[in-house]
Structure 1
Amino acid sequence: MKNLKIKNAALSVCAVLMSVTALSAVSPADAKTALKLSHFAAETHPGHIAAKQFKERVEARTNGEVEIQLYPSSELGSPPEQLEQTVLGIIDMNLPTQGALDKYEKAFGTVMTPFAFGSYEQAHQVLDGPFMDWAAPKLEEKGLVMLSNWEYGFRNVTNSVRPINTPEDLAGLKLRTPPELQIVAALEAAGAQTTQIAFPELPGALTAGVVDGQENPIGVIYHYKMYELQENLALTRHVYNSMVHVMNKKKWDSLTPEEQTIIREESVSAGNLMRELVQQQEADELAKIKAAGVNVTEPDLEKFKEQMGPAYERVSEYSGEENMKKFLSFIGK
C-alpha cells in the first residue's frame, strides 16, 4: 500500500511537470496583445480603409502576436471621449484631429490656423518634419505617443441660402461648426454666425433649418450625404486638419522594441494610404456632388485671408504666442 501511494504521488508529480512543460510550450504561441483602435470616420471613409490596412499588416508582421481591434464611427464615444479614454488607457489607440489634441497640448492648436497651408504637400512636409519633431515629445509628457500623421483635409462650407463667393456672402449665415476655436474664429472673422451642434444631430438640424449650413472636408460632406441637404458648396479651404495616430504611452512602453517598430512603420504606411485616397477621391466626390445639382463655387481666397486678423489673434492667444511663433517659422511666415 505504501509503495502504491509513493507510486501514485510520483505519477501525480510527473503529471504536473508534464502539464507545466506543455503549458510553457504553448504559452508563447498563444500569447497575444490586443490593442483597441477607435476613431470617428465612417466605415466607407478613407480613414477606416487605412485603419483596416494597419490592422492587417500589423497582425501579419507579428504573426498574430499583436491583434488590432477596430472601432469606427465613434462606436466607443464622441471624439473627445475617445481621446480621453486613450489618455487614461481604456482605449489603446485613437485617431483624433489636432483640434482634439490641443486640449492636452496647446502646440497642436497652431496647425488649424486659418489658411496656414496652401496645399496638401506643404501640410505634409511641415507636419511630418519640423512640427512632429517639436510637438511629439510634448505630447508624450501628456501620456500619448504620436505615431504618425494621417489625413482629413481642407474644410469647406455648405449652405442652403446662397452661393458663397466673397466674405460678404457669409455675413449673417448661421453655420454649425465643431467646437474647435480655430474653425469658429475663421468663420466669424469672415462674417458668419457659428453654433455648435453634435455631429450626429447635424443632418436633422440642417433639414429643420436650425442652421443655414455647416463646414467639413469634401470627404465628410460626400460620405455623410450632406450635399443632399444643402444647395451650395463653397471651396473655401479655410482650415486644414488631419487625423493623428496616437497611442497610450504606458501601453506603448509595454510593447517589445520589435512590436514598436512594426506599429510605427505600419502607422506611417496607413497614413500615406489615407492621404492618397483622400486626394484621389476628392475630385471624384466633387464631380458627383456637382452632378447631384449642388452649386459649387470657388471663391477668391485672398479676400477671405484679408479678413483673418481677428482669427489669428484668437488662435495665437489660445495656443500661446511662443507656440504660434514656432509654428509660423515652420510655414515660412
Structure 2
Amino acid sequence: MIKQLTAAAFGALLTAQAVAADEIQINMSLIFQESELLTQELIKVTDKIRERTNGDVDIQVFPGGQLPTYKDNLEQVVNGADWIAVEDLTYVGDYVPDFGALAGPMLYDSYDEYLAMMDTDLVADLTAQAEEKGIKIINADYMFGFRHMITNKPIETPADLEGMKIRVPGSQIFISTLDAMGASPQAIPFTETYSGVQQGVVEGLEGSILTMYSTKIYEVANVMTMTKHFLGTVGIYISPSVWDKLTPEQQAIVEEEFAAGAESNTANLIKLDEEYRALLEEQGVTFVEADTAAFSELTASVYNEFPAWSEDIRAVIGAELEKIRGN
C-alpha cells in the first residue's frame, strides 16, 4: 500500500513538473507610470493573455522604470531574455536604422495615418529585418499623443518661433527638429522646466496635451500651438527565441490581445485628448492651429542628419503617406 501511494505521489509530481515546464513567465519593462493610459491598457492585455492561456503565458508588467528601459530594455530582448520591451521606434533604429525615421518629425497628421503606415509593405520589410536582428515586433500600434508647442504666444508660423528658447529632451532628434523649426532648443531636465519658464530661462517647451495639464505648466505658459511635430508611439518587442517557446495557439492569443489593446488605447487616447483640452480651456489655455506645411518643409533637412538612415528615407515615407491620404 505504501509503495502504491509513493508511486502515485511520484506520478503526480511528474505531472506537476510537466505542467510547470509548459508555463512561461515574461517580464515586461516600460518607462510609463502605472497611472498612465498606455500602462493601464497593457496591464489589461496581459491579464487577458493570462486568462486565455490558463496562466501558461504569464507576462508581468513592470512600469515606471523598475527594470531597465530605453536602450538597455531592448538589449534584454536581443540577448534572448524572457522579456518584452516597450519602447519607441528609435530604439529599434539602433538595429534597423530606417525604423528611427518612422518616428521622425512632421510626418503624421492624425492617429489613423500612423496606424495605416504600420500596415504598409515598407514597415513589413523593416519588421522582417528587425526579426533577423533578434527583435520580433508583436505590435507597433500603441500611441500616447502628439507633441505641440507650449508657450505664452501663438506659434502659427516659423517666423513666430524664430530664436525662441524652447526646452527639449536631451535627444538629438528633438534638438535637431526644434533647431530646424527655427527655435533655440534648450536641453534642460524636465524637473527644471516649470521654474525655467517662470524665470525666463526658457520661453516654453514642447509636449502633449496631457503633459501640459498633469504638470500644471499652463500656470506659466498658457498657449498651445498644435504643431504635431512628433507623435509619441511605442512598439511591443520580444526575442524570436522566446516567441518560439509559445505554442501557435498561444502566439495567436498574444497577437490578438495586443492588437485589441492597441485599439482600446487609441479610442481612449482620443477621448482623453478631448477631455484634457476642455479642462485646459477652463484654465484659460488658448489653442492655436499652426502652419504645419511650413514647419514640415523646414524639418525635412533633419532626415539628412542621421547618416545611418537611407538617403531618400524621407521621400520614401512621404510617398507612403501620399498613398494613405489618397493624393
TM-score, with normalisation over the residues of structure 2? 0.86
State the secondary structure of the residue aligned to 1:330: helix
Alignment length (residue pairs): 318
Q: Does residue 1:247 correspond to 2:238, yes or no? A: yes
What residue in structure 2 maps to residue 162 of structure 1? 153
Partner of 2:14: 24
Q: Percent identity?
A: 25
Q: Secondary structure at the match of 1:319?
A: coil
Write out per-residue CA displacement over residues 281-320 of structure 1, whole angstroms, 9 at most, x where no aligned residue.
10111111121222332222233234234324335x4522
Indicate conservation of the 8 Å contact 2:164/2:203, yes or no: yes
1:207-246 to structure 2, matched below 5 A, reads: 207-209=195-197, 210-246=201-237
Matches within 5 A, 1:179-218: 179-197=170-188, 201-209=189-197, 210-218=201-209
Report the secondary structure of 1:227's partner residue.
Answer: helix
Secondary structure at the aligned position of 2:236 is classed as strand
Q: Which has the larger radius of gyration?
A: 1
Q: Which runs of 5+ in 2 are unaligned?
A: none
CA contact (8 A) 1:130 1:330 kept: no
Question: Please, which of 110, 117, 130 is the counterpart of residue 139 of structure 1?
Answer: 130
CA distance in 1, matches of 2:273, 2:231: 14
Structure 1 counterpart SS, 2:66: coil
What corresponds to 1:84 in structure 2?
Answer: 75
Two-structure CA RMSD over aligned residues (Å) = 2.6
Q: Does the residue aligned with 1:188 lie in a helix, a strand or coil?
A: helix
Q: In the alignment, does 2:141 pair up with 1:153?
A: no
Bigger drift between 218-227 and 133-142 goes to 218-227
Match of 1:7 in 2: none
- Structure 2 distance, partners of 1:225, 1:58, is 37
Q: How does 1:271-310 map to 2 (within 5 A)?
A: 271-310=262-301
Deviations 1:233-266 (A, max 9, x none): 2111012241111112222122222221111111
Identify which range, 246-255 or 86-95, moves more after superposition: 86-95
Q: Which ranges of structure 1 fall in alignment gaps of 5 or more residues?
A: 1-9
- Which of 105, 113, 130 aligns to 2:104? It is 113
State the distance in 2 between where 1:24 and 1:288 align: 59
3-state DSSP of counterpart to 2:107: coil
Q: 2:90 is matched by which residue type in structure 1? A: G
Counterpart residue type for residue 207 of structure 1: S
* Residue number among 320, 323, 326 corresponding to 2:310 in the alignment: 320
CA separation of 1:262 and 1:15: change in aligned 2, threshold 3 A: same
1:85 & 1:221 partners in 2: Cα distance? 33
Separation in 1, partners of 2:216, 2:13: 53
